């Protein structure tokens, strides 16, 4: 069996590719990675010498290339996306092109070749913000940033291919991921690497925004359960079960890095900043047997240790972002 994994040179996709390539992976599938290698993707995330891995550099909007790769695939797991909210606020065009048109290009190819399951990996941000309780999968989508709006659009397009054409599409929506190999402009690696370098960290507003934190390996476990056991046309939330305000998270990161609150710089809040995200993941639990395996305290300590021990991985990436913005 050959699984096409898009965007697998990035944070979550590369961890998922490693899961499929593990020695004890059921069916030992071949894995074809399609990645454009934009700023957030790096070949250092992949096991390039693995005998079951093929890497192809390319754009999911390239219909000819996508058709060729999908024709040779039995299943598709689709991670490729522009995903940084702040970047979407200053320029939404790339988000619409990649997240919406790229997804549609992949779906068209899957439809032509009868490829499935097609797992479309999305985000809890499509739901908007919730004051209390948790979103079930059938909650109306109310995205508030160009990024989340582009992901909501791609969710709806993907599901429409199931309802219109009968394509085996399955959608996952996850909460905030953390773990090794996360690009250092995201909040946890940004704060950790800044603190390790003796710099300050930027905290939006008063730090009251609440997020549910999910270890990347738990997320990948959930995605694979959806791929292997999920139902066509269904949406599955994948959560971590640890809700923290950004201020609480900052305190934990300061403590882990041996720093004090004088290293925190309060900055103007992000435009349209959602106050709270919280997904109800009981459907994945009850139908698929999904449960997070990582305790947040231990998972965060391991993550901080990984960044402390792997400067050679993240320092070039941070330099690249600094040069890009200069």
Residues with catalytic function? 124-125, 147
Angle at 98 between CA 94 and CA 246, to 5 degrees: 70
**Gap between the Cα atoms of 28 and 99, Å rounded:** 29
Q: How far is CA 307 from CA 184, 195, 256, 297, 301, in A?
A: 10, 11, 12, 16, 10
Residue among 218, 233, 213 at smallest CA distance from 163: 233
**Gap between the Cα atoms of 79 and 151, Å rounded:** 11
3-state class (DSSP) for residue 182: coil
**Quick one: angle between helices 187-196 and 296-309, nearest 10?**
50
Residue among 321, 323, 325 at smallest CA distance from 42: 321
Backbone angles phi, psi at 298, to 5 degrees: -70, -40
193: its two tokens: 């690497």
Exposure letters 41-61 (e unless 16+ CB within 10 A, then b): bbeebbeeeeebbbbeebbbb
């Amino acid at each position: 069996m050959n699984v096409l994994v898009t965007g697998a040179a990035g944070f979550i996709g590369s961890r998922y590719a490693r899961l499929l390539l593990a020695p004890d992976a059921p069916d030992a599938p071949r894995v074809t990675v399609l990645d454009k290698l934009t700023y957030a993707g790096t070949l250092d995330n992949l096991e390039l010498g693995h005998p079951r891995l093929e890497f192809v550099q390319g754009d999911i909007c390239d219909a000819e290339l996508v058709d060729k790769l999908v024709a040779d695939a039995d299943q598709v797991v689709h991670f490729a996306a522009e995903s940084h909210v702040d970047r979407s606020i200053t320029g939404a065009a790339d988000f619409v092109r990649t997240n919406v048109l790229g997804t549609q290009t992949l779906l068209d190819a899957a439809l032509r070749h009868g490829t499935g399951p097609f797992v479309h990996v999305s985000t809890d941000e499509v739901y908007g913000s919730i004051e209390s309780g948790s979103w079930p999968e059938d909650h109306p989508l109310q995205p508030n940033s160009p990024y989340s709006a582009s992901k909501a659009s791609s969710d709806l397009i993907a599901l429409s291919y199931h309802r219109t054409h009968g394509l085996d599409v399955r959608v996952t929506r996850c909460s905030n991921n953390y773990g090794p190999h996360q690009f250092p402009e995201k909040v946890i690696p940004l704060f950790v690497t800044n603190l390790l370098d003796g710099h300050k960290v930027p905290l939006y507003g008063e730090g009251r925004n609440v997020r549910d934190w999910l270890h990347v390996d738990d997320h990948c476990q959930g995605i694979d359960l959806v791929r292997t056991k999920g139902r066509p046309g269904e949406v599955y939330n994948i959560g971590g079960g640890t809700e923290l305000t950004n201020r609480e998270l900052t305190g934990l990161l300061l403590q882990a890095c041996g720093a004090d609150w004088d290293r925190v710089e309060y900055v103007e809040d992000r435009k349209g900043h959602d106050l709270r995200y919280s997904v109800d993941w009981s459907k994945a639990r009850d139908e698929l047997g999904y449960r997070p395996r990582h305790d947040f305290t231990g998972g965060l300590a391991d993550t901080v240790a990984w960044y402390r021990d792997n400067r050679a991985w993240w320092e070039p990436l941070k330099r690249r972002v600094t040069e890009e913005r200069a």
